[in-house]
Structure 1
Amino acid sequence: MPGETAGVDIEELISRLDLSAKVRLLTGADMWSLPALPEIGLERLVMSDGPIGVRGTQWSSADPSIALPSPTALAATWDVGLVRRVGRLLAREARRKGVHVLLAPTLNLHRSPLGGRHFECFSEDPYLTGEIGAAYVEGVQEYGVATTPKHFVANDFETDRFTVDVRVDGRTLREVYLAPFERVVRAGAWGVMSAYNSVNGTTMTENRPLQREVLKDEWGFDGFVVSDWTAARSTEATVEGGLDVAMPGPSGPWGAKLEAAVREGRVSEEAVDDRVRRVLRLARRVGALGRPPADPGAPPTAPGGAPGSARSAAPAGAPISTTTGAPATAPGSGADPAAGPAAADGIALAREVAARSFTLLRNEGGLLPLRDVRSVALIGSAAAEARVMGGGSAQVFPDRIVSPLEGLRERGDVEVRHAIGTDPRIRLAPLPGPARALFLDAAGEVLAEHPLATAEARWVGDLPPDVDTARLAAVEIRAVHTPDVTGVHEFSITGVGAFTVTVDGETVFDGKLAPEGGDPAAAFLAPPERRITVALTAGVPVRIGARQPSGSFGGMAFVAFALGHAAPSPGDDALMAEAVEVAAGADVAIVVASTTMEVESEGFDRTSLALPGRQDELVARVAAANPRTIVVVNAGSPVEMPWRELVPAVLLTWFPGQEAGHALADVLFGDAEPGGRLPTTWPGRASDVPVLSVTPAGGAVVYGEGVFIGYRAWERAGRTPAFWFGHGLGYTDWSYDAMSASGTSATVAVTNTGERPGREIVQVYLAPVEPGPDRPARVLAGFAVVDAAPGETVVGTVRLPERAFQRWTDEGWRTVPGEYAVEAGRSLADRRLSATVTVRVSGC
């Protein structure tokens, strides 16, 4: 098949392996890789978390990565071409870091806005999720890096995710939750990740009906199924259920236990061979079997453009062009072939994607883009310390983050005055660098030393290669801090385990921090914090240190702790009064309102849709002081906005990635148009949301709403959200002029009636004329991205998939005959054109 190495006979290789070698290949050699088998020419197969970057195997700021906007932002672009370019960039990052398999994208759905990883999923709509996910997969795999769409399936919330049983009927599974996975399998995904949760009583790693009978047999998936980390908890049952690789390793339910099961006749060797075959097929596709790895420096050139089937002379680190995906600098031109995460084109793409994703929800009086503005009041803690990504396995470490304050000040043509207003964060931010991580032996001798961008040490899986793990006894963060103000400063230690914290050699904390709850990931991703107060003098530097014993457990690295800091604060009341005063004296006020790491992260769900802290009060008070107030909502998923009618402009920036500030300046001042459209319905109040709860009852969550999630549920309930699915304004106006439709496509003519070039997302919905109580009033059936100059008319053609006219029955997919309205418009609530088509099936 496309991308496979010519001349490599997998069956012959399998015949050369004994049982022990075969079984060894199916379990992690460590946290992030499968073992090499040099006897058959197999390299170590390395996996890494995504989806907004490629972290690599260290989970450390010592190995920086490009940080792109969040998946909700990618979906907000509704632009599959742009997402393919994102995939190509990620493939280059993977190759630069020696990664063969990207553990992404996340295809779970926005069933409830309380889902803790809502920001890491694309949409509430299965069709939009599938199209964006397929483009992501195609872009990454085009250059010979595998993807593992996850988490298969119904892992749409975090509460009790290791043990919860999701109970869902077959029709809902097929039409909603399985649909995006089916789409990416049809797009050629080389891997799938199996989820922690159970579905209808069977944990997913053991779920034969879904993993074997649907995924592999019915859909013809020939890739590999890898467990989510520690999700495999049995031996025979996981083999029977269709799992191919158990991660991490080498300990776990496979390994020696699986080998014994085969020797004792409880598992057939043919079943093991099937899994080895899939792993070797993966290795062949990613260039880790019998030939050098794929060079992602140029698009494939094999006949037919087969993904991953060609190699180029472009150097492995050449920056990728944001226009074509080809090398921006020709080989031999003198460019640094290991340009890495600071490569200009990667930064440019991060900036472009962010601006394209920004969603203008409200723009009364055309306040945006800003014109003739001499002074700006920029307000909010996130204005100076941008929230650019969600927490958890989606976290990467960019080598730079451009805050809104930096981005606006770099323009140089306006005066920017900043005020905090209020700080909603619960934990202290890591002490800014430079800092150092020291790896020490029992005598305190330094084994290795590594620079840190901030006073945060993280290594999970692999320690730096120069660390002698046999001698390692402790890891220590050291930093020097020079305070700007005299007074009582707060420092914090965040982590799990025993710690010693010193200030200028004096011990200020010596104790243990214990995690709360039963989710080990939450203990790592949202660990406890202990604060210490220290009196400091402005301008007088102090040495800060934090030490934790060991750092390696059973040969596997686990270092995760941070030193936080906060300067003396006058308190929220004084900060808010200052912000109001600054806002009143400026031409325009911009409030950056954000969620925090304690609100949106892997490992736990949200308990509220309210902005944390006193931010709602801050917005209201600033709006009262300055009628020209713009609110920038820096969140990966919906938040309540009780002040939305009080301000003329609301701009949603999602989690915008490392180029947040530059993209924000581009959009605010009209250098770029906010191109986003909502990929999920945005409620006014949590109490209005038709499907909200993510809390198991009796160990289960029942998807009793069936196919009615997202806008389908809002329409069925007759409720009106703050902003409907698909909503988003630009900086120009559009007329919808004409459309024609058949049972297979719709053609829509639109005109840019404004005064500047623009981009429009033409959305097409399919509505049965007689929907009935068990069918949605309408579903998204397709969309097209069009660009037009002022006064220009363009035509978008949207394919209508056959599946849009079908429903799942006990006999399989069946077309539902009858009349359908094909509706085109700017959002679900702004449908401007309609045509009727009649669908008939044999005998009707």
Structure 2
Amino acid sequence: MAPFLDRVGVPTAAICVLSSLASLGHAGAIADADSEQLSARDSAALDYYVPPYYPAPYGGWVADWQDSYAKAKALVDSMTLAEKTNITAGTGIYMGCAGNTGSALRVGFPQLCLNDSPAGVRHADNVTAFPDGITVGATFDKSLMYQRGVAIGKENRGKGVNVWLGPVVGPIGRKPKGGRNWEGFGADPVLQAVGARETIKGVQEQGVIATIKHFIGNEQEMYRMYNPFQYAYSSNIDDRTMHELYAWPFAESIRAGVGSVMMAYNAVNNTACTQHPYLINNLLKDEMGFQGFTQTDWLAHMSGVASAIAGLDMDMPGDTQIPLFGNSYWMYELTRSALNGSVPMDRLNDAATRIVAAWYQMGQDQGYPATNFDTNSGAAVNPLYPAAWPNSPSGVTNEFVQVQADHDVIARQISQDAITMLKNDGNILPLSPSQHLKVFGTDAQKNSAGPNACTDRNCNTGTLGQGWGSGTVDYPYLDDPITAITAEASNVTFYNTDSFPSVGQVAASDVAIVFITSDAGENTYTVEGNHGDRDASGLYAWHNGDTLVQSAASKFSNVVVVIHTVGPLVLENWIDLPSVKAVLVAHLPGQEAGTSLTNVLFGHASPCGHLPYTITKAESDMPSSVTTLINSEFLNQPQDPYTEGLYIDYRWVNKNNTKPRYAFGHGLSYTNFTYTAASINKVTQLSSYPPTRPAKSGILNFSQAIPSATQAVAPSGFNSIPRYIYSWLSQSDANNAVSDGKNGKYAYPPGYSTVQKPGPRSGGDQGGNPALWDVAYTLTVTVQNTGDLFAGKASAQAYLEFPDNVAYDTPIIQLRDFEKTEELAPGASTTVTLTLTRKDLSVWDVVAQDWTVPAVDGGYKVWIGEASDNLSIVCHTDTLKCETGVTGPV
């Protein structure tokens, strides 16, 4: 597939633009209203094109948000110019939370605290280190996803965090070696979408604004960031792939009412995401009906006017890319741009209103806790403005508020239910507490210097419970595996080494438990040669873990391997060795690594996790476009063409008839389940295209004359804090800005317009046309535990196969829904319901620019089973009949 891109240079006010504004588009179709605005293309080889999308659409036209917008607009209308620009940007890095907006205290709008991590509350005390997203995805359990969201929301609220910087669905896991895949839920758009939706619901029900991130194409860590001398890489994504893969979980998050979207560091089709008018104005705000506010990733802001008119609403943490002197591309520069008319007042009013509306939408105007912790220090008394050191006044910034409650219970349940059993030859598991167990590997025991000894977990020392970087949470404690094992079993010998030691005489009944790891994280740190991504280690265990397993397998007849990992590994060096009897992937369990594991090892619970990605036999079983990391960017913008299109992970191996070692969705149990009595019911009569979208209604008027220069000037006698970023101008700068506006006109990009659009046909509500979520079919299936000894939970997974005769190339199967049963006793059964929506049966039509059902009432097949390669039921949408005991499609 050819990338759809074009580059259009855009000057900006008062700053140097490091990237060009460009358009992301589709083959063929161009909106009639914009056709006259097209400029000549630089190259006839560019097959995908749409003109720039302006202006930024107003928010407030979705019914669920209209009350909040009415309140927000009234408040914003009462603000001065400087107050409006103050709340749209941060006051500077290291000023308390990860980011802090300015305030408008005169009218009652507070400074907002924005804070990581997607697994809890970063850099805080008395909080829970929850399992990471990849672990949550491995549960395939919507209820656990939601409950974790509730707990995370409560902890962030209790600490006074207004905007939680999670969850993560980008990266989606396109590149197996990608550094931050573990922050998301797995390498599939539906698994990611459901994980995000349930998390957002849980968090925002607590009154905390959630942030879905990173939009979009941020699929590797190295070379993701722009700097004054170098462009970030460009993810070149075609239109259909953008909609059906990468934007899918974002659309679901927006439908769930998410309050904020964080733009990615990288470029898409050679335009930086933070100033990309198609991504922000069209895809997010118009097509997907996003009502909240967009924000930059930290220090990803690189322009003034260009980013504002492209639809950016908030600059975080406020500084320029090199945050040394308290300079900003917005704040006082945005005040200047509003006074000189280069940023229209309606655009500024819309941005400010979006932020305030999200605050009202979550009920933060009533009784919301003040921020009571300090990300920069664990002490009680600290500088009030840490980045202004040594000139900052001091005060109490950390009140040590306890917010953990009983959240260890849900954290432990997730860690336990995520454990994925890949292999269990001879039913060696569960173990008996009386067996002689010899445990190998430093991963079995927490870091002897303390679980938080490495800042942001930027080392792989001891038990690996989290990846590294901004996605981490400080451990309140770490329940490590060896402590739990020795508490459970009576005869345990532990070798705290990753080199196989002398073990003396080994009995035939002895069991070796070997712990191995694979780590990754944010490019902020390099760990054991890995620059965020697993560029040094590749898809192999760290610390010579593969050799450790091989050595144990040569000595012991019974070897159990436990893997803590950020993602897939190549296991071929040892997986078929006869003495390697069992393999458990425990993913990244957070603080509850120990008891959650021993509950499975010793049979107190049956394993019920499933792989949220595919484990291939070789790296080369995936396309080079996803296995090759960008490893250079010197003086060029690296290009990352998504030539594999829709075919990532299991979609690729299925297309190429490559048998993986373990398929997406694979996970064994101590018991057995049967799937019977399947039925399919038609709920909605579909049409080729959805019904006409509802028109935008109730749109507020954000227009305003340019205010007086007096609204931009600091009060007389105000004393500023060094490095603290303010929105005020000096009187002379304010006067000059007004004069500049009278004497010249800003050179807007080709296609720029100030006339609001009615919106694309594919839009209409949060997430898109509301008809996309019409339930097309429901399916029911009876799941029975047919084992004799163990209770267990089953995961019913539904995969869709498009009819053979459709005019679109589609993956053989695609996950469309899943449901986890409650724990079923031996012999017990339950009925599971799965749903397919209109969108599930649709593809993105790049010409019509809409979702289309390519075979209305046609022969879709819905495959149901317990893994993508273990599907024993097929239901037909044309005959409404189901067959059981069949052979799956892959």
Question: Could you tell me the TM-score, scaled by structure 2's length?
Answer: 0.69
Q: 1:753 aligns with which of 765, 781, 786?
A: 786
SS of 2:784's partner is: strand
Assess, with a 3 A threshold, how the Cα gap between structure 1 residues 601 and 407 changes in structure 2: closer, same or farther. Answer: farther
Assess, with a 3 A threshold, how the Cα gap between structure 1 residues 274 and 399 changes in structure 2: closer, same or farther. Answer: same
Q: Does 1:711 align with 2:644?
A: no
Aligned partner of 1:172 in structure 2 is: 241
Q: 2:179 aligns with which of 111, 116, 123?
A: 116
Matches within 5 A, 1:466-545: none
Aligned partner of 2:541 in structure 1 is: 611
Q: 1:277 aligns with which of 343, 353, 362?
A: 353
Aligned partner of 2:621 in structure 1 is: 688
SS of 1:407's partner is: helix
Letter in 2 for 1:620: Q
SS of 2:422's partner is: strand
The answer to whether the 8 Å contact 2:144/2:410 transfers is no
Q: Percent identity?
A: 31
Return the alpha-carbon distance in structure 2 between the equivalents of residues 663 and 360 of structure 1: 14
SS of 1:147's partner is: strand
SS of 2:878's partner is: strand
Return the alpha-carbon distance in structure 2 between the equivalents of residues 678 and 187 of structure 1: 25
Q: Does 1:381 align with 2:439?
A: no
The answer to whether the 8 Å contact 1:677/1:728 transfers is yes
Letter in 2 for 1:767: E
Return the alpha-carbon distance in structure 1 between the equivalents of residues 401 and 132 of structure 2: 23
Structure 1 residue 98: Cα displacement = 1.3
Q: 2:263 aligns with which of 171, 194, 197?
A: 194
Give the structure with the larger strand fraction: 1
Return the alpha-carbon distance in structure 2 between the equivalents of residues 188 and 286 of structure 1: 10
Q: Does 1:774 align with 2:816?
A: no
The answer to whether the 8 Å contact 1:389/1:656 transfers is yes
The answer to whether the 8 Å contact 2:71/2:360 transfers is no
Assess, with a 3 A threshold, how the Cα gap between structure 1 residues 712 and 644 changes in structure 2: closer, same or farther. Answer: same
Return the alpha-carbon distance in structure 2 between the equivalents of residues 7 and 405 of structure 1: 54
The answer to whether the 8 Å contact 2:605/2:792 transfers is no
* Residues 485-540 of structure 1: CA deviation (Å, up to 9, x unaligned): xxxxxxxxxxxxxxxxxxxxxxxxxxxxxxxxxxxxxxxxxxxxxxxxxxxxxxxx
Letter in 2 for 1:816: P
Q: Does 1:627 align with 2:557?
A: yes
Aligned partner of 2:474 in structure 1 is: 397
Return the alpha-carbon distance in structure 2 between the equivalents of residues 582 and 107 of structure 1: 49
Return the alpha-carbon distance in structure 2 between the equivalents of residues 7 and 831 of structure 1: 47
Q: Does 1:762 align with 2:762?
A: no
Aligned partner of 2:696 in structure 1 is: none
Aligned partner of 2:156 in structure 1 is: 94
RMSD: 2.4
Return the alpha-carbon distance in structure 2 between the equivalents of residues 627 and 721 of structure 1: 26
Letter in 2 for 1:361: L
SS of 2:877's partner is: strand
Q: 1:640 aligns with which of 545, 566, 570?
A: 570
Return the alpha-carbon distance in structure 1 between the equivalents of residues 198 and 530 of structure 2: 25
Q: 1:37 aligns with which of 101, 104, 117?
A: 104
Q: 2:517 aligns with which of 585, 594, 617?
A: 594
Structure 1 residue 593: Cα displacement = 0.6
Assess, with a 3 A threshold, how the Cα gap between structure 1 residues 6 and 203 changes in structure 2: closer, same or farther. Answer: closer
Q: Does 1:807 align with 2:876?
A: no
Matches within 5 A, 1:647-796: 647-690=580-623, 691-695=626-630, 699-743=638-682, 744-755=777-788, 756-770=790-804, 774-787=809-822, 788-796=824-832
Letter in 1 for 2:863: E
Aligned partner of 2:193 in structure 1 is: 130
SS of 2:215's partner is: coil
Assess, with a 3 A threshold, how the Cα gap between structure 1 residues 368 and 236 changes in structure 2: closer, same or farther. Answer: same
The answer to whether the 8 Å contact 1:73/1:655 transfers is yes
* Residues 550-599 of structure 1: CA deviation (Å, up to 9, x unaligned): xxxxxxxxxxxxxxxxxxxxxx4xxx233x44865873211011124637
Assess, with a 3 A threshold, how the Cα gap between structure 1 residues 621 and 603 changes in structure 2: closer, same or farther. Answer: closer
Q: Does 1:21 align with 2:98?
A: no
The answer to whether the 8 Å contact 2:69/2:357 transfers is no
Letter in 1 for 2:663: W
Matches within 5 A, 1:201-220: 201-220=270-289
The answer to whether the 8 Å contact 1:4/1:285 transfers is no
The answer to whether the 8 Å contact 1:724/1:829 transfers is yes
Assess, with a 3 A threshold, how the Cα gap between structure 1 residues 723 and 604 changes in structure 2: closer, same or farther. Answer: closer
SS of 1:741's partner is: strand
Assess, with a 3 A threshold, how the Cα gap between structure 1 residues 46 and 713 changes in structure 2: closer, same or farther. Answer: same
Return the alpha-carbon distance in structure 1 between the equivalents of residues 510 and 66 of structure 2: 60
The answer to whether the 8 Å contact 2:126/2:403 transfers is yes
Aligned partner of 1:483 in structure 2 is: none
Q: Relative CO higher for 1 or 2, CA cutoff 8 Å, sep ≥ 6?
A: 2
Return the alpha-carbon distance in structure 2 between the equivalents of residues 4 and 668 of structure 1: 52
The answer to whether the 8 Å contact 2:785/2:828 transfers is yes
* Residues 305-329 of structure 1: CA deviation (Å, up to 9, x unaligned): xxxxxxxxxxxxxxxxxxxxxxxxx
The answer to whether the 8 Å contact 1:195/1:227 transfers is yes
Return the alpha-carbon distance in structure 2 between the equivalents of residues 5 and 378 of structure 1: 60
Unaligned runs of 5+ in 1: 296-336, 423-571
SS of 2:781's partner is: strand
The answer to whether the 8 Å contact 1:583/1:589 transfers is no
Structure 1 residue 273: Cα displacement = 0.5
Assess, with a 3 A threshold, how the Cα gap between structure 1 residues 634 and 603 changes in structure 2: closer, same or farther. Answer: closer
Q: Does 1:293 align with 2:368?
A: yes
Aligned partner of 1:449 in structure 2 is: none
Structure 1 residue 605: Cα displacement = 4.5
Structure 1 residue 684: Cα displacement = 2.0
Aligned residues: 639
Return the alpha-carbon distance in structure 2 between the equivalents of residues 796 and 354 of structure 1: 23
Return the alpha-carbon distance in structure 1 between the equivalents of residues 409 and 478 of structure 2: 13
Letter in 2 for 1:822: V
* Further displaced range: 166-175 or 244-253: 244-253
The answer to whether the 8 Å contact 2:177/2:533 transfers is no
Letter in 1 for 2:649: G
The answer to whether the 8 Å contact 1:599/1:606 transfers is no
